[in-house]
Structure 1
Amino acid sequence: MESWEAGPTAYAGPTSPVRPSRTELGTLTAPPGPASLWLDVLDATIRTCREHGRSDLVAWLWQRRAQLLHPHLRVLVVGAAKQGKSQLINALINAPVCVVGDDRGTTVPTVVRHTATPAAHLIRRAAADAEWTADAGPQDRFPLALDRVADALTETIAGQPAEMVGRLHADVGVPRTLLATGLQLIDTPPLPGLPAAAPAAVGRVRELATDGRADVVLFTCESGRELSDAEVDVLADLGRLYPSLVVVYTKTDYAAHWRRDVEVSRMRLVQAGVPATVVPLSAALRTRAVQTGDTALNGESGFPVLINLLQTMVATKPDRLARQTVGVLGRMVTERLAVPLKDNLDAQRAETSTSHAVTRLHETQRRMDELRKCATRWQSRLADEVADLMSDIEHDLRERTRAVIAHADEVFTESDPLKMWDEFEPWLRDALLDAANSSLAWLGDRAEWLARAVAAEFPPELGDVLPSWVPGVQESAQERVTGLDSPQIERFTMTQKVFTGLRGSYGGVLMFGLATSLAGMSLINPISLGGGALFGGKSIREEGRSLLKRRQAAARVAVRQHVDEIFVGLAKDAKDSMRRIQRALRDHFTAVTEDLQEAIVESLRSAKADAERDLSERESRARRTEQELIRLAALQKQALALLQAPA
């Protein structure tokens, strides 16, 4: 017969067995060894978190460090509503310390620990996240009746304001050998959303585990069903924080096929990578066994396995459990610290070609290439436009002077230069001067247009590169357009008229005199004299017309020669002006190009230096990041070594 213990809060019958036996979780059996190994790894992890500025992780790890060094093993019992959490704890210690019943449940966490004499209080903490201890002032401690702890707890909580419920927890002390070894059980309110949804439950169980300073989490699930997907997700999240989880299948006495459900759930946990030990048990059978003292029934209830498991965890906490916990924490923390470092390293590598300095360097190189192309374009444009302009100005001058010559020809076709030269010569000079001034003015306008056309070949971002002035036509057309002296025109003098008349009349007298001599008249007679006068006048008129045509032709030739001479001079002046304009624009835009090139070269030199400096800094930061990742990997390797330590 095994030894049993009893106490003021116990059922009428034996309670938990004192003597420990074999455990199902054999991996928790660890060889003796110093705690300095896992403590050194944990302290190194805390220092690393501090170096990375993660004060939140530092505070959390310090808290876990204090928990691991504390001799007590705090077991957090969680699960969905009506899964038998509270009844499990009551049956485990054989004392009705937790609220059970279909019409009521656990509303505030209940810490069950060992005391020499039974004691129960409702504790009001200073803050919702304050530590769940029995230390509180008299005004924040509400005693609970020992003979009816569950009912008294429910009644006392009901008397508190609703906003204070989050700051309440119950502290129950009972004299139990199972608890005397340092085991503390924490009953918790049901996790929200389970078994259907996991997000709210994940957040809540993390809060409970942190605030409750839990070392081990015991998850309850009633028999008759498999673990839901949401429950597996919650356990997977807990597996990242705790090396070993305990999944208790309750109420096996109510489910006919609970063994099949347990095996299926165990396989699902293995497939999900959750390090959990599955323990099926029945609180009803445990209670009946305690009441009747039936050791076989107590074994059938499954509680001896859970008790031995908890006792082994208490015994191995300073060594094996602590090492595994530090291994899990080290792996999780190093992974969390490595994520931003890897992202930063990837970002640095991705931004190497898109950094501001490199972008500036590429932009400066693009501007240099654009300037080289621009220099070729504007030089070609200037040469082409100047060639076109020279041809155009020569053609313009030719057309204008041809118009003057054509008008002069018309004038001298109808008029006698001898009579109207004095009137014609001022007109000719004015017409030529007007043509020259108009052509040279047009040349000045084309020169300004040429300057803008060449400036348009420069990129717009360079701003206004037009010269402040464009050299115009410096020669004055007045100097080129000179007066035309009257040409040497043959005059029809009176003496010429007399001799021409006599020469013409001689033939007439002779011809008519011979004709009249046949009639018996003398050679010179009135008729022959009249005929001579007729022929003499005709000769005078013909000679006058011939002299007029010769004068008109001479005048036209003189005008053409004069206009051609002026055209040649004006064309030369226009070409000289164009060459000066070309040289002025060439010198101006060359200076602009040189200034821009000098500025771009200086900017290129500066951008190259900045890019090299930025690249060096990036490589230095990348090396530091890689070294830190290597250091984190080494720290993680040490943590994993704690997990892989031989049993």
Structure 2
Amino acid sequence: MATPAAAETSDGALAPVARVLDTIDRGAQLAHEQGRPDLVEHLEAARTRLRQGTATVAVVGEFKQGKSTLVNALLQTAVCPVDADIVTAVPTVVSHGETVGVTAYLQPVGDGPVRPVAASLSEMRELVAAHPGEGGQRYVEVHLPHRMLRAGLRLIDTPGVGGLDSAYGQLALGALQTADGALFVTDASQELTQPELDFLRSATERCSATALVVSKTDLYPEWRRIVALNTDHLRSAGIDVPVLPVSSFLRLRATTDPALNEEAGFAPLVAHLAAVVQGQAGRAAEQASAEVDFVAEHLAAATRAERAVLAEPVRSEEVIEDLGRTRQRAAGLAAASASWKVALADGVQDLIADVDHDLQQRLRAVLHEVEGVIDSGDPLDTWSDTEVWLRRQVATAVLANRDLLQSRATDLAADLAADFELTGGAFALRLRGLSDVTETASLPDAAEIALRPGRLQSVMMVTRTTTFGPMLILGVAGLFGIAMPIVGVAAAAVGAGLGKRALREETDRVRSGRRAQAKAAARKYVEEVSFVLSKESRDSLRVTQRQLRDDFQARAEVLEASLAAAHRAAQQASVLPPEQRAARSRELTTHTDRLTQLSTPAGAGRAAG
């Protein structure tokens, strides 16, 4: 049963999209009339992006807080397994499809791509429980014919394994960088912990449309007090997010008893998701509108040139010459040797070097710190905790490095567009997702680190040292006829002292061996992470380079074609007889009015100019 909020998710979100799609249709018609198939193709690409746009909402939180059950309750469909013995270890992406479908994306072999394999809902239990580090799934995608999903909602049920301050927690934060919204799920059994508050603060910095969902209100009678405490904690921490208490169990029961819908508390949650979808749809519509403005500007170029010639026939030759020079400069932008292509290649190479240096610097700092941690204790007792700490610190460093890559790549695109006047439309960099190598790279377990090398040798060394001194003293005493009782006491004391010292030295030696083994394991782990992520960063930036090159090249070619059309229009207008100029001026006025109606307010001024 669809709630009013669900209906809003569908209809309200699609309204701005429908308006822009209508504008794209009219723009394509004008481009077709002016003989500009390149601009028609540009608008068709914008139409495709707009129609395929989705609002991605990540469901995050500690494990066993009800994230998977929440997704099932939202869609009122058993999508994610929720058995007591199941812990989600693989991200599950749920999006719209005309029919139910499941695809498992397997870990790549070597440097190959991620491998998609068709599956079914009945296999979800095995799919989501498989750990990605064991050669299993990278993620699982589910398609459902659901109204909320059809409106553009896309849900990601993220793993909570290892805690929010683990490497997985850092990976979840990394995923929020490109998410449109986030639902942080905690149950009503207790108030928010400090790690949860810290995670929420970081989450809101990366994704402003974050909400706190307090789940399992049907299980805990004191849930209202917990919600009030959580609200106070958020206020004290300066975290401004909506707090949404829900009962997934009652929501699922509402399929047979609609009266339970209100008690389940899902209406505010669905309304929040509707706002996220509408916000994303609005941004997508703005980007598509910018593409329409881009097309309108280029369609207006020929009109402006022709009107300038008709308005002042005596300046026809001057206008035509200016257009010719501008056309030549535009041809230079589209040429294979264009300076912006060299600047793009140089900029990407510099960025690759800077990002790699930043990664190495951060990982070296972590390695130096972990060596200090290892030296401060005995890996026999501390290795398990050290491993968790190391993975978290490396993941934190990797996330910061990824933020630098994202920021610098965006700046590079904006600078190139501004420097070479190739602006227009919107640039959406398609950087690859953050790797989970920080969690899947191998580290030895505590049992391997705790091995005592040379145990028999150590025992023999201590025994020899302990007995050698007393035996020597007794031998000398017998040689000189010294009283044996007195000598025996002295020999025993010397043996005990030597044995204690030898045992301490041997213990230190074995501990130092474990520390060296632990440091070697840490270095090997950091080197593996560095090797994998350095290549991923280079690959991602090269993809970005090709994307920007192709996008700017297309815009340069459009600019050249527009100026060529303007040059031809000015030449044709210059030879019109006087009796035809007035009629042509009226036609151009009508055409300008159509372009003005096509453009948004920002673009209308340029088109009318």
Give TM-score, length-normalised by structure 2: 0.40
Structure whose alpha-carbon radius of gyration is higher: 1
Give TM-score, length-normalised by structure 1: 0.38
